[in-house]
Amino acid sequence: MTEREKRNNIMGYLFISPWLIGFFIFILFPIVASFFLAFTRYDVLSPPRWIGIGNWLRLLEDRRYHNSLRATFYYVFTAVPLRLIFALLVAMLLKPPTRATSIYTGIYYLPSLIGGSVAVAIMWRQIFGVDGLINFILKNVGIEGINWLGNPRTAIWTLIILAVWQFGSPMLIFLAGLRQIPESLYEAASIDGAREWTQFTKITLPMLSPVILFNLIMQIINGFMVFTQAYIITGGAPLDTTLFYSLYLYQKAFQSFDMGYASAMAWVLLVIIAFFTLLAFKSSKFWVYYESEEV
Amino acid sequence: MARRNRGWNIIYHVLMLVLGIVMIYPVLWMVSSSFKEHADIFASMGTLIPPKFTIENYKEGWKGFGNVTFATFFKNSFIVAGIGTIGTVISSALVAYGFARIPFKGRDLWFAAMMMTLMLPFQVQIIPQYIMFNKLNWINTFYPLIVPKFFGSAFFIFLIMQFIRGLPLELDEAAEIDGAGKFGIFWWIILPSIKPALITASLFSFYWTWDDFLGPLLYLNQATLYTVSLALKNFADPTAVTNWGAVFAMSVLSLIPVLLIFIFFQKYLTEGIATTGIKG
């Protein structure tokens, strides 16, 4: 038996070695390194210089950094709930697995598939541009359009709409969850005279709550990391209202080569994301329903 | 639907169709604009059917910029996405088998570590990674985009693991009795049975790498090395006068590989998302 165990240990590590080596080189080492860089001034050309908590103090005073925090939080806490509510609503309408619903599912999923691309970001910039599609349609019905991307109140909403437009992937996850809820529960509830709304709040939501938790966590994490769309569509303008965290970090690290400062920013982001992930997990015992202890 | 009456059915389908049209209208509009003449792109913006059909935009756009054509950009994207995908899928399958089927010491710990990395913001890694690749003189090469892929990807490892766990253990045991080693079992028993998972992983890997923008933006500064996504961004530079027809034409072309995957392998994509919950 010990011979077999020994062999299993060797073979096990052999098989996972690609990931294990990659984990140390491309993940663990960079995380530790960025923590140390966060206490230095480093511009790539000259060696890093230790400045203690200098970068962290700068974070407290940097107005643009505060703007980027505000923009990011605003985006995450509007785009994520809107996207999830939309995804759930549409998933419920698509629940019966028929030929028609599978076609609709495909159509609604398409924007999610291409939404992260540069092509769609460029398209979005055109659609909301001064001479863009939206203003053209508005003009035809007699409304004077505005500069959607240049107006500090509307610019971030073009990005939020882009995010909601891509509700397809959480929709698919909700759909898979919905179809696993036993039909017998609904039948029993109907016999007992429960109305559709009661069925929704007493059966659908509790049965779906683990999937909602999963979607919520994944969407929050992704929401904090959005980069490409803001970089191409608004570039952070106007007045930093769309200066998302990743965008400002990119500007600091790779345009100003202020790598120590950017590393401190990256670590704060790590803490923010860890905090919200943990919050979602911790709160889950109050609202997530697990059918049984197994699984 | 609890109440199956005809009226409700009609309302339902009208609603779903309208939503569907709203969802894909922007894409159809871009495709149609790419076939319009310059003047018509703005003059007849609302119509989906080009007043005068032309492929001039594609000819113009294909020329690219700085004496580099889109043929180069597409070639670069195919190299990066193609090699990257092969590397990711092979390495992820090996690792998935190790985690799913071999009981070794420390397995649970490493598996937990791997799942944790799924939640890690890439921002904490990119700066040291950049410094590292810079020290290796890998800036302006494809290595930073390709080499890390050969070390497996947590998403795909998890996806393939889920699939391996569904296979009956008896197969492994029978092969072991016949004298097959772990690698033999992996090669002869597991690999042929997990083809659907490998296809799903390949599709996602290809399409994510194809779409990737930040990686090329950080590591490629020469037009001859640009991938399609980076080239498009430079092609549509808002500070210069933009030839929208050509930009739309190249944008449409850049979406074609992803759309082909969608049309021919939709089942793999949607099932992949549903079973593992990976982002789309």
Q: Do B151 and A21 touch (CB under 8 A)?
A: yes
CB A10 within 8 A of CB B86: no
User: What is the rounded average pLDDT of the residues A191-207?
Assistant: 87
Judging contacts by C-beta atoms under 8 Å, the chain B residues touching residue A226 are: none
CB A271 within 8 A of CB A35: no
B6 within domain boundaries? no
Per-residue pLDDT at A295: 38
The residues, any chain, with a CB within 8 Å of residue A117's CB and separated by 6 or more, are B211, B229, B254, B255, B258
Burial class (CB in 10 A: 0-12, 13-18, 19+), B112: exposed
Judging contacts by C-beta atoms under 8 Å, the chain B residues touching residue A245 are: 123
User: How far apart (Å, rounded) are the C-alpha atoms in residues A73 and A226?
Assistant: 12
Identify which of A8, A27, A37 has the shortest CB distance to residue B102: A8
CB-based contact, B93 to chain A, within 8 Å: no
Where does residue B145 fall: left (phi above 0), alpha (psi -120 to 50 degrees), or beta otherwise?
alpha
Identify which of A16, A37, A231 has the shortest CB distance to residue B127: A37
B7 within domain boundaries? no
User: How far apart (Å, rounded) are the C-alpha atoms in residues A99 and B61?
Assistant: 39
B213 within domain boundaries? yes
Per-residue pLDDT at A38: 95
Q: What is the pLDDT of residues A155-170, one digit of tens each?
A: 999 999 999 999 998 9
Q: Do B151 and A18 touch (CB under 8 A)?
A: yes
B49 within domain boundaries? no
Q: What is the pLDDT of residues B72-85, one digit of tens each?
A: 999 999 999 999 99
* Single-letter amino acid code for the residue at B142: F
In this structure, what CATH number is given to the domain that contains residue B119? 1.10.3720.10
Tokens of B161: 């693991």
Measure in Å the smallest separation between the Cα of B136 and chain A Cα atoms. Answer: 13
Mutate to test the interface with B, among A117, A138, A183, A213 (most CBs of B within 10 A): A117
Longest dimension (CA), chain B: 75
Q: Which residues pair with A41 in a beta bridge?
A: A49
The residues, any chain, with a CB within 8 Å of residue B140's CB and separated by 6 or more, are B219, B220, B221, B222, B225
* Single-letter amino acid code for the residue at A119: A
Q: Do B229 and A169 touch (CB under 8 A)?
A: no
User: How far apart (Å, rounded) are the C-alpha atoms in residues A283 and A295?
Assistant: 20
Measure in Å the smallest separation between the Cα of A286 and chain B Cα atoms. Answer: 23
Judging contacts by C-beta atoms under 8 Å, the chain B residues touching residue A37 are: 127-128
User: How far apart (Å, rounded) are the C-alpha atoms in residues B124 and A222?
Assistant: 14
Does the pLDDT of residue A262 top 60, yes or no?
Answer: yes
CB-based contact, B179 to chain A, within 8 Å: no
Identify which of B123, B213, B251 has the shortest CB distance to residue A249: B123
User: What is the rounded average pLDDT of the residues A76-95?
Assistant: 94
Measure in Å the smallest separation between the Cα of B11 and chain A Cα atoms. Answer: 12
User: What is the rounded average pLDDT of the residues A273-284?
Assistant: 90
Q: What is the pTM of this model?
A: 0.90
User: How far apart (Å, rounded) are the C-alpha atoms in residues B123 and A271?
Assistant: 12
Does the pLDDT of residue A17 top 80, yes or no?
Answer: yes
Measure in Å the smallest separation between the Cα of A33 and chain B Cα atoms. Answer: 6
Q: Do B95 and A16 touch (CB under 8 A)?
A: yes
Place of tokens 């004496």: B67
Domains (range + CATH), chain A: 62-293 (1.10.3720.10)
B131 within domain boundaries? yes
Between residues B243 and A123, the one the model is more confident about: A123
Place of tokens 């610019």: A155
The residues, any chain, with a CB within 8 Å of residue B21's CB and separated by 6 or more, are none
- Domain assignment of residue B166, given as a range: 58-279
Place of tokens 């042929």: B192
Mutate to test the interface with B, among A19, A24, A32, A80 (most CBs of B within 10 A): A19
B67 within domain boundaries? yes
The residues, any chain, with a CB within 8 Å of residue B275's CB and separated by 6 or more, are A176, B159, B162
CB-based contact, B254 to chain A, within 8 Å: yes
Measure in Å the smallest separation between the Cα of A18 and chain B Cα atoms. Answer: 5
* Residues of chain B with confidence (pLDDT) below 70: 1-4, 238-241, 274-280
B210 within domain boundaries? yes
Domain count, chain B: 1
Q: Do B262 and A112 touch (CB under 8 A)?
A: no
Counting Cα atoms < 13 Å in the Cβ hemisphere of B108 gives 0
Distance, first Cα to last Cα, chain B = 28
Using the 8-state DSSP alphabet, how is residue A274 labeled?
H
Q: What is the pLDDT of residues A208-254, one digit of tens each?
A: 888 898 889 889 999 999 999 999 999 888 889 999 999 999 999 99
Identify which of B15, B30, B97 has the shortest CB distance to residue A123: B30
Measure in Å the smallest separation between the Cα of B207 and chain A Cα atoms. Answer: 9
Alpha helices in A94-117 (DSSP H): 99-114
Per-residue pLDDT at B238: 67
Does the pLDDT of residue A123 top 70, yes or no?
Answer: yes
Q: Do B103 and A225 touch (CB under 8 A)?
A: no
B17 within domain boundaries? no
User: How far apart (Å, rounded) are the C-alpha atoms in residues B91 and B114?
Assistant: 14
Q: Do B19 and A173 touch (CB under 8 A)?
A: no
